């Protein structure tokens, strides 16, 4: 078997094993899956080391026409995507061992996860657009099953997710057909389609639909928050938070840089940047007012995609670098956050922010990892989110960028911070409800992935030039990217702010502060049992202030327009899925009115139909 087939075929085969293991033995199934996937991870690391490789085989053709080529191509870009797919896969499999313990889940879960990983590897490696679409569809299909394994409300959520992703897959199919008919090839590395004619532009937007629906950008975002609540946190951490971002933005980057020729500053680029900026702001406002942790995180998952679309869509080299680095960083901290949400859910049984609080001392590991990932997503220096946003800001000031998008990006970042302050307060800091006394930290298998991800968040921020030089710049540089503003390989990270020095200085500052504390008598503090409010001692439940009310000012006090917009957004009125659903329901109601249950009506329909048929047959003589 060719090396390139390992990451696809091995998990696919290993995924068969859990099918034969009964529910009681799901830990065994998990360990087998993890062991098998660790082997895949090692293979993938070796592949990443090789760098470039290609393999193809024509599976079938009709008399030499319409060949279906199973073409795989490893480049520095797809290698890097594949590497992180494998890393996240292994982490989530490890996490699942503890997370599923005590849940009524069958072992098939592991089959679905392994197959998802196989399909994701296939999508990352495939060099044929049609093959890519097939893997894309398999992912959609498996996600449907995984969502359906979740808790209350899973059926509707899975259906919505399947519909939206299915719609986008159909759009991709049309785009691929257009490309096939006009350019005669589907090989991704051979296509360079100009977008200044109608065919190119239409084909681009059809494929673009597939990419952004998977990544979860406006207007096809609404499946992410819909599935967030019922779905397992481990699934959320793996698929919408990590794999879908990696693959969606991977495809978007390939589309904008290789497959289609898009000038920076063209109208297509402008459309993408507007979509990106709108996504950032709208989604973060919706996130601000959420009451459920997983739903809140899913809105942030959408908002962050805005940065990537903005960066990659701009066509400005430095912003593309930022967009791609942000994709990697976002995959890290977002899956870290979902894993932490899963840990809290596991121990407290809820993700409702109003019912939580004061877990910092009880779940210290989860707390610290959440703080790191939350500050990363808010773009606080020196964590990784800052560096990648930073490159995007930089690009927006360059030629072809726009200051308005820069404002949207920075402002979105401030709102993200606000939203995570609410999360930190509601989960970990505020007063602890009595119900949660005695909550314990999660198992080692769940801690390890969270800690690993948090460490990567810090390292990728403090030593940002390493991931940039190792993953991002080779990925772009060696796929032959030449944009209007020069080759991407010429970007160096010298002269940018040095996060390492800043980190050292902040540590020195903290030491200075601690010295001041040492001078004071902070060692012998007095602990005061009571909280006095207005001269009275209040009891705990009475003065517990959950973070859910933090931003009521924004939703309630800023006038009817803002209030209306939020209510609209909560109900999902601006969601294209619902609008489309309503139009379809209208059509169905017309048809329904015809079904009145009276035999003569049906008979008359049959007769009319027969008449039409006869008419057609008589007057269309072949």
Partner 1 sequence: MDILRPILYYAIFPGFIFSAVVGLLTTWVDRKVTARVQWRVGPPWYQPFADTVKLIGKEVVIPANARRTGFLMMPVIGLAAATLASTILWIVNLDPSKSFVGDSLVVIYIMTIPAVSMIIGASASGNPLGILGASREMKLLFSYELPLIISVLTAIVKVGSFSFKNILAYQSEHGVIIWSISGIIAFIVAILCAQAKLTFVPFDIPEAETELAGGSHIEYSGVALAVVRLNMAIMFFVLPIFLITIFWGGISFDGWRILTSIVKYVVIVVIMVLIKNTNPRVRIDQAVRFFWGPMFILALAAIILAKLGL
Subset of 24-83 contacting partner 1 (CB under 8 A): none
Give the DSSP H/E element, type plus range, for residue 70: strand 65-74
Is 543 a residue that touches partner 1 (CB under 8 A)?
A: yes
Is 417 a residue that touches partner 1 (CB under 8 A)?
A: yes
Whole-number Cα distances in Å, 323 to 262, 307, 314, 391: 16, 6, 10, 8
Write out the binding residues for partner 1, residues 471-500 only, by CB under 8 A: 495-498
- d(C-alpha 22, C-alpha 7), whole Å: 26
Write out the binding residues for partner 1, residues 113-152 only, by CB under 8 A: none
The stretch near partner 1 (CB under 8 A) out of 100-108, 160-168, 324-332, 429-437 is 429-437
In the complex, the smallest distance separating the C-beta of residue 202 from partner 1, rounded to whole angstroms, is 34
Is 157 a residue that touches partner 1 (CB under 8 A)?
A: no
Among 31, 53, 134, 418, binds partner 1 (CB under 8 A): 418
Annotate 129-155 with b (16+ C-beta within 10 A) or e (fewer): bbbbbbbbbbbbbbbbbbbbbbeeebe
DSSP-derived letter for residue 596 is: -
Write out the binding residues for partner 1, residues 283-322 only, by CB under 8 A: none
| Token output for 277 | 């900026």
Identify any residues that bridge with 74 across adjacent strands, giving them in sequence order. Answer: 53
Is 216 a residue that touches partner 1 (CB under 8 A)?
A: no
- For residues 230 and 430, which CB has a smaller minimum distance to partner 1 in the complex? 430
Is 579 a residue that touches partner 1 (CB under 8 A)?
A: no
Among 13, 42, 414, 617, binds partner 1 (CB under 8 A): 414
Is 400 a residue that touches partner 1 (CB under 8 A)?
A: no
Among 9, 159, 478, 554, binds partner 1 (CB under 8 A): 554
The stretch near partner 1 (CB under 8 A) out of 27-35, 271-279, 413-421, 595-603 is 413-421
Cβ distance 217 to 305 under 8 Å? yes
In the complex, the smallest distance separating the C-beta of residue 266 from partner 1, rounded to whole angstroms, is 21
- For residues 495 and 597, which CB has a smaller minimum distance to partner 1 in the complex? 495
In the complex, the smallest distance separating the C-beta of residue 403 from partner 1, rounded to whole angstroms, is 6
- For residues 128 and 378, which CB has a smaller minimum distance to partner 1 in the complex? 378
- For residues 99 and 386, which CB has a smaller minimum distance to partner 1 in the complex? 386
- For residues 168 and 394, which CB has a smaller minimum distance to partner 1 in the complex? 394
Q: How would you classify the pairing of strands 193-194 and 260-261?
A: parallel
DSSP notation for 91-155:
HHHHHHHHHTTTS---THHHHHHHHHHHHHHHHHHB-BHHHHHHHHHHHHHHHHHHHHTSSTTHH
Write out the binding residues for partner 1, residues 505-534 only, by CB under 8 A: 505-510, 512-514, 516-517, 519-522, 524-531, 533
DSSP-derived letter for residue 187 is: B
Binding mask 373-392 for partner 1 (x = CB under 8 A): ------xxx----x---x--
Is 433 a residue that touches partner 1 (CB under 8 A)?
A: no
Is 194 a residue that touches partner 1 (CB under 8 A)?
A: no
- d(C-alpha 110, C-alpha 126), whole Å: 24
Report how far Cα 343 is from the mean position of its chain's Cα atoms.
19
Give the DSSP H/E element, type plus range, for residue 69: strand 65-74
- For residues 39 and 411, which CB has a smaller minimum distance to partner 1 in the complex? 411
User: In sequence order, which residues have a C-beta less than 8 Å from that of residue 127 and are 6 or more positions away?
Assistant: 54, 56, 71, 72, 73, 187, 188, 189
Is 573 a residue that touches partner 1 (CB under 8 A)?
A: no
Three-class DSSP category at 484: coil
- For residues 162 and 550, which CB has a smaller minimum distance to partner 1 in the complex? 550
Q: How many residues bind partner 1 (CB under 8 A)?
A: 74
Among 178, 232, 169, residue whose Cα is nearest residue 203? 178
The stretch near partner 1 (CB under 8 A) out of 243-251, 263-271, 406-414, 604-612 is 406-414
Is 155 a residue that touches partner 1 (CB under 8 A)?
A: no
The stretch near partner 1 (CB under 8 A) out of 231-239, 293-301, 415-423, 461-469 is 415-423
- For residues 65 and 529, which CB has a smaller minimum distance to partner 1 in the complex? 529
Among 581, 591, 588, 587, residue whose Cα is nearest residue 159? 581
| Token output for 432 | 């602890």
- For residues 509 and 611, which CB has a smaller minimum distance to partner 1 in the complex? 509
- d(C-alpha 376, C-alpha 313), whole Å: 23
User: How many residues would you count in the chain?
Assistant: 622
In the complex, the smallest distance separating the C-beta of residue 555 from partner 1, rounded to whole angstroms, is 11
Is 550 a residue that touches partner 1 (CB under 8 A)?
A: yes
In the complex, the smallest distance separating the C-beta of residue 409 from partner 1, rounded to whole angstroms, is 10
Cβ distance 491 to 321 under 8 Å? yes
DSSP-derived letter for residue 292 is: B
| Token output for 241 | 């938070």
Among 185, 469, 490, 540, binds partner 1 (CB under 8 A): 540
- For residues 26 and 432, which CB has a smaller minimum distance to partner 1 in the complex? 432
Dihedral over Cα of 81, 83, 87, 92: its sign: positive
DSSP-derived letter for residue 184 is: S
- For residues 78 and 376, which CB has a smaller minimum distance to partner 1 in the complex? 376
Is 429 a residue that touches partner 1 (CB under 8 A)?
A: yes
- For residues 152 and 437, which CB has a smaller minimum distance to partner 1 in the complex? 437
Among 198, 463, 479, residue whose Cα is nearest residue 317? 479
In the complex, the smallest distance separating the C-beta of residue 310 from partner 1, rounded to whole angstroms, is 16
Q: How would you classify the pairing of strands 536-537 and 65-74?
A: unpaired
In the complex, the smallest distance separating the C-beta of residue 570 from partner 1, rounded to whole angstroms, is 20
Is 463 a residue that touches partner 1 (CB under 8 A)?
A: no
Write out the binding residues for partner 1, residues 343-362 only, by CB under 8 A: 358, 360-361
- d(C-alpha 51, C-alpha 493), whole Å: 22
Cβ distance 409 to 542 under 8 Å? no
Is 617 a residue that touches partner 1 (CB under 8 A)?
A: no
- For residues 173 and 289, which CB has a smaller minimum distance to partner 1 in the complex? 289
The residue written with tokens 């003589």 in the block is: 621
In the complex, the smallest distance separating the C-beta of residue 473 from partner 1, rounded to whole angstroms, is 17
Is 19 a residue that touches partner 1 (CB under 8 A)?
A: no
- d(C-alpha 279, C-alpha 252), whole Å: 16
């Amino acid at each position: 078997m060719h090396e390139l087939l390992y990451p696809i075929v091995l998990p696919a085969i290993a995924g068969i094993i859990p099918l034969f293991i009964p529910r009681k033995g799901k830990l065994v199934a998990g360990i087998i899956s993890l062991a098998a996937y660790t082997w895949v991870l090692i293979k993938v690391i070796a592949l990443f080391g090789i760098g470039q490789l290609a393999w193809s085989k024509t599976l079938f053709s009709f008399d030499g026409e319409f060949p279906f080529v199973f073409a795989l191509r490893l480049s520095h870009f797809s290698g890097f995507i594949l590497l992180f797919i494998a890393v996240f896969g292994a982490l989530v499999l490890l996490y699942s061992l503890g997370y599923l313990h005590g849940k009524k889940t069958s072992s098939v879960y592991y089959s679905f996860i392994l197959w998802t990983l196989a399909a994701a590897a296939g999508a990352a490696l495939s060099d044929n657009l049609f093959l890519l679409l097939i893997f894309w569809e398999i992912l959609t299909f498996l996600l449907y099953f995984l969502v359906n394994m979740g808790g209350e409300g899973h059926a509707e959520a899975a259906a919505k997710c399947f519909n939206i992703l299915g719609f986008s897959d159909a759009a991709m199919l049309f785009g691929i057909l257009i490309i096939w008919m006009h350019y005669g090839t589907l090989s991704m590395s051979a296509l360079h389609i100009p977008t200044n004619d109608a065919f190119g532009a239409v084909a681009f937007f059809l494929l673009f639909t597939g990419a952004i629906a998977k990544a979860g950008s406006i207007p096809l975002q609404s499946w992410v928050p819909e599935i967030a609540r019922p779905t397992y946190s481990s699934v959320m951490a793996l698929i919408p938070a990590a794999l879908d971002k990696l693959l969606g933005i991977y495809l978007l980057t390939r589309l904008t840089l290789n497959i289609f020729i898009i000038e920076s500053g063209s109208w297509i680029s402008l459309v993408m940047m507007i979509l990106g900026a709108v996504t950032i702001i709208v989604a973060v406002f919706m996130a601000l007012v959420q009451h459920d942790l997983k739903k809140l995180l899913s809105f942030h998952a959408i908002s962050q995609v805005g940065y990537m679309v903005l960066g990659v869509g701009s066509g400005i080299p430095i912003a593309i670098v930022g967009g791609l680095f942000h994709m990697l960083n976002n995959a890290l901290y977002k899956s870290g956050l979902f894993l932490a949400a899963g840990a809290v859910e596991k121990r407290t049984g809820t993700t409702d922010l109003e019912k939580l609080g004061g877990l910092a001392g009880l779940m210290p590991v989860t707390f610290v990892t959440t703080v790191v990932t939350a500050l990363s997503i808010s773009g606080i220096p020196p964590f990784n989110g800052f560096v990648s946003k930073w490159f995007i800001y930089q690009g927006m000031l360059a030629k072809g960028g726009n200051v308005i998008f820069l404002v949207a990006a920075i402002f979105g970042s401030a709102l993200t911070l606000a939203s995570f302050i609410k999360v930190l307060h509601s989960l970990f800091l505020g007063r602890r409800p009595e119900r949660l006394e005695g909550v314990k930290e999660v198992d080692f298998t769940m801690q390890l992935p969270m800690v690993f991800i948090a460490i990567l968040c810090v390292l990728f921020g403090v030593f940002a030039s390493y991931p940039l030089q190792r993953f991002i710049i080779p990925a772009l540089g060696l796929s032959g990217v030449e944009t209007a503003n020069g080759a991407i390989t010429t970007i160096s990270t010298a002269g940018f702010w040095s996060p390492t020095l800043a980190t050292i200085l902040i540590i020195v500052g903290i030491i200075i502060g601690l010295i001041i504390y040492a001078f004071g008598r902070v060692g012998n503090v007095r602990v005061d049992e009571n909280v006095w409010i207005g001269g009275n001692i209040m009891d705990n439940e009475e003065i517990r202030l959950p973070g859910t009310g933090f931003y009521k000012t924004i939703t309630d006090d800023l006038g009817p327009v803002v209030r209306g917009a939020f209510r609209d957004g909560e109900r999902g009125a601006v969601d294209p899925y619902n609008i489309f659903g309503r139009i379809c329901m209208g059509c169905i109601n017309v048809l329904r009115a015809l079904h009145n249950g009276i035999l003569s009506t049906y008979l008359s329909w049959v007769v009319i139909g027969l008449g039409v048929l006869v008419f057609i047959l008589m007057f269309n003589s072949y």
